[in-house]
Structure 1
Amino acid sequence: MNRETSRDLYDRALDVLVGGVNSSVRAAPQPYPTFVRKGDGGHVVDADGNRYVDWVMGLGPLLLGHDLPESVQAAVQRRASEGPMYGMPTELEVEHAEFVARHVPSVEMVRFVNSGTEATVSAVRLARGVTGRNKVVVMQGGYHGAQESTLVEGDADERGPSSAGIPREFAKHTIPVPFNDADEATRVFEEHGDDIACVLVEPMLANKGIVEPVDGFHETLRDLTDDHGALLIWDEVITGFRVGGLGCAQSKYDVTPDLTTFGKIIGGGFPVGAIGGRTDLMEEFTPVGDVFQAGTFSGHPVTMAAGLETLQYAAENDVYEHVNDLGSRLRDGLREIVSTQAPDYSVVGTDSLFKVVFTRDGPPRNGGDVDDAAVDRWNRVFRPQVLDDGVMLSQNQFESQFVSYAHTAEDVERTLDAYRDAL
């Protein structure tokens, strides 16, 4: 497959973009990233004209695929034609917030922001402001954006920043515990409970090869936060409006957090983030309360139109039935392939998420299990071979892969053939 244009573009990009990219994960593919020219349904076409089945889907936002339904496209074009943005409220913000509050169990009020990172930063600040406490419990291997409070590695007893540029003093307020380890979470609360402002947790680790919760884990976190006066924050930036349908993952797992962060699908493919939660908590944000939060582009009219129309389209059509069915077909087919060709590997995911993790000791229970998998083999050998077969997978072993409404049964079969050849 000829990818000379991608290679040449990457060569040029290295002179003017840091690492040749604008987000670190994009530099992961070997030997260089694929530069995309356009999307087409469930596919992308690269700068050389090669066509791929696309399971990246913008890293999750594109529930409907690259070709937006006419109603969504018309709404976006109408809003764009009426002016880029205003710096003032619009009716669309109200309608979008009403839709979210109507469908998501934890949400009574919403504050729209511009990214998942901004949403989690604001939610942690809100939790600290409400409780008057500083410490935040996070999961080892969980990802909550590029923010100082969560770029922390280690464990509850010894931890430090996972990035240069973050003072060690910041890390002392963040306590990592293993995902699915209820005993360690309980121990941390017994030791630090009076100082913990919140637990920030993904419903499943969706940026770490996909690790699903064991029975009772989220219920334990709910009980611990209730008992110690801390807040439970669910980061549904990835799972929101994908896992569990319009009710999000919290409806699937029947746990109601105090606050929820959103991104990706809630903006219909445009830059977005949001925080939702109970009225008494959300009204601690300015201008009602004392926790400052603001943003020039928050509630951008084009994003609001794309997000609201996307969710309304999903509500009125068979979107979740379709994507979940294809997700199930993919996982079933992959399990059959893995069972005979790579029995140590694990097929993971739920609803419209899927992945094969190159594990060695059974399905992963936490982020450490994924770290111990054959990550380099996935990144450097397996993914490039599948790419040559015309199938675009996520940029590394840790990122999720996503089914869209535009994907077809033919795309599934072509992908299973590529996995069969590569494994």
Structure 2
Amino acid sequence: MNHDRSRALYDRALSVMPGGVNSAVRAAIEPYPFFVEKGEAGHVVDADGNRYVDWVMGLGPLLLGHDLPDEVGAAIQRRASEGPMYGTPTEVEVELAEFVARHVPSVEKIRFVNSGTEATVSAVRLARGHTGRNKIVVMQGGYHGAQESTLVEGDAAQPRPSSAGIPQSFAEHTLPVPFNDEAAIREVFEAHGDEIACVLVEPILANYGIVHPEEGYHEFLREITEEYGSLLVFDEVITGFRVGGLGCAQSEFGVTPDLTTFGKIVGGGFPVGAIGGRAEIIEGFAPAGDVFQAGTFSGHPVTMAAGLETLQYAAENDVYDHVDGLGERLRAGLTDIVADRAPEYTVAGTASMFKLIFTREGPGRDALEEQCSAGCRQEPTCPRYDFCPKNAGDVKAAETDRWRRIFWGQMEDQGIFLSQNQFESQFVSYGHTEADVEETLEAYKEAL
């Protein structure tokens, strides 16, 4: 493929933007990213005219794909034509709030903000304000946006900032533990239970290779937070309105958190975030309560319209049947391919999410007939159970450089756009087709 114009654009970008990008992950593609000119259904076209099947989908927000259904696009355009924003409430933000509250088990009230990061920042502040406690528990490798409270690595005994610019004194209030490790959770609560404001967790680790919870893990988190008077906060920025349909992942797992953070799909592809939960807790936000939270662009009318129209369209059409069905076909196809060509690798994902993790060990080929058929589910009876990733550390131990430096480029050469590293999830949209799936599986066969 010719990438001359993308290379020239990146050269220009390096002169005026740090790393030539406005979000660090975009520079993960080496030696430089391609620049997208437009999207079409389940595809993108770059600045040099190259066309790709797009499984990145804006890193998750584009449930409907790049081409919006006519009624959705018309409603968004109509709202934009009425003026960009007003600094005062609008009816459409009430309608979107009502829609979310009707469908998501944990949500009685909701506060809209402008990004997933802003949502998790505000949720942590609210949890601290509600409980009067300072410490939070997070999962090692879980991603909750570019915020001081969660850009923390290490373990609960020695937490430390994972980024320059964050004081060690901030990190000391954050207790990282491995995902799927009940003993580690129990240990930090026994040591710090009366200081812990909340446990902040993705229902599925979706930004670190896609890792499912083991059976009973979220129920355990629900029980121990109630036991110690802490809040359980589900970060559904990625899984929200993608896993479990309109009820989100919490309805899939049957566990209701105290607070839920949203982003991506709830804004229909426009910048958005939200914090929902029990009314008595959400009422802690100003002006009803003492926890300050505000934003000029919060509840932006164009974003609210895009989110509402997207979710209503999904509710009234076959969107989830379509995307989940294609996701199942992708994962099932990948399971067959890796069983034949790379039996140590792990197929992960659920609903309309998928990922191939380049794990280094696995059972013998003769045992693979009994494995999970379309993505790891942490089933103890699966022959891959002892080898599939249980937490972010397991994913990090995979062949991440091979995935990024060799495999990603081989897929790009075949016109398949995958997420920029081993860790980011990949997503199916309503714009994708069975032909896109078959083309992608053929590319995987060639690349592997």
* Range class of TM-score, shorter chain: over 0.9
Aligned to 2:46: 46
The answer to whether residue 400 in structure 2 is matched with residue 375 in structure 1 is yes
Per-residue CA deviations over 1:63-88 (Å, capped at 9, x if unaligned) read 00000111110111011100010000
Provide the aligned C-alpha RMSD in A: 0.5
SS at match of 1:193: helix
Gaps of 5+ in 2: 362-386
Per-residue CA deviations over 1:308-346 (Å, capped at 9, x if unaligned) read 000000000000000000000000000111001111100
2:427 to 392, 396, 402: 402
Greater than 2 Å deviation, 4+ residue runs: none
The answer to whether residue 411 in structure 2 is matched with residue 386 in structure 1 is yes
Structure 2 CA distance for aligned equivalents of residues 340 and 20 of structure 1: 40
TM-score by length of 1: 1.00
Identity %: 74
Structure 2 CA distance for aligned equivalents of residues 37 and 8 of structure 1: 14
Offset of 1:60 from its aligned partner?
0.1
Offset of 1:158 from its aligned partner?
1.1
Structure 2 CA distance for aligned equivalents of residues 294 and 325 of structure 1: 40
Superposition pairs for residues 67-78 of structure 1, below 5 Å?
Answer: 67-78=67-78
Structure 1 CA distance for aligned equivalents of residues 35 and 420 of structure 2: 12
Residue type matched to 1:237 in 2?
V
Aligned to 1:416: 441
Aligned length: 423
Structure 1 CA distance for aligned equivalents of residues 323 and 292 of structure 2: 39
Aligned to 1:321: 321
Per-residue CA deviations over 1:187-208 (Å, capped at 9, x if unaligned) read 1111110000000000011000
Structure 2 CA distance for aligned equivalents of residues 108 and 39 of structure 1: 36
Superposition pairs for residues 168-317 of structure 1, below 5 Å?
Answer: 168-317=168-317
Structure 1 CA distance for aligned equivalents of residues 82 and 388 of structure 2: 51
Per-residue CA deviations over 1:293-317 (Å, capped at 9, x if unaligned) read 0000000000000000000000000
Structure 2 CA distance for aligned equivalents of residues 385 and 83 of structure 1: 45
Aligned to 2:21: 21
Structure 2 CA distance for aligned equivalents of residues 316 and 182 of structure 1: 40
TM-score by length of 2: 0.94
Structure 2 CA distance for aligned equivalents of residues 248 and 235 of structure 1: 11
Structure 1 CA distance for aligned equivalents of residues 134 and 264 of structure 2: 28
Residue type matched to 1:394 in 2?
S
Gaps of 5+ in 1: none
Residue type matched to 2:399 in 1?
A
Aligned to 2:118: 118
Offset of 1:403 from its aligned partner?
0.1
Offset of 1:30 from its aligned partner?
1.6
Per-residue CA deviations over 1:215-240 (Å, capped at 9, x if unaligned) read 01111110110000000000000000
Structure 1 CA distance for aligned equivalents of residues 243 and 125 of structure 2: 26
Residue type matched to 1:410 in 2?
A
Offset of 1:34 from its aligned partner?
1.0
Offset of 1:133 from its aligned partner?
0.2
Structure 2 CA distance for aligned equivalents of residues 374 and 38 of structure 1: 32
Per-residue CA deviations over 1:355-392 (Å, capped at 9, x if unaligned) read 00001132110000011000000000000010000000
Aligned to 1:100: 100
Aligned to 1:360: 360
Per-residue CA deviations over 1:98-131 (Å, capped at 9, x if unaligned) read 0000000000001000000000000000000000
Structure 1 CA distance for aligned equivalents of residues 408 and 4 of structure 2: 18
SS at match of 2:139: strand
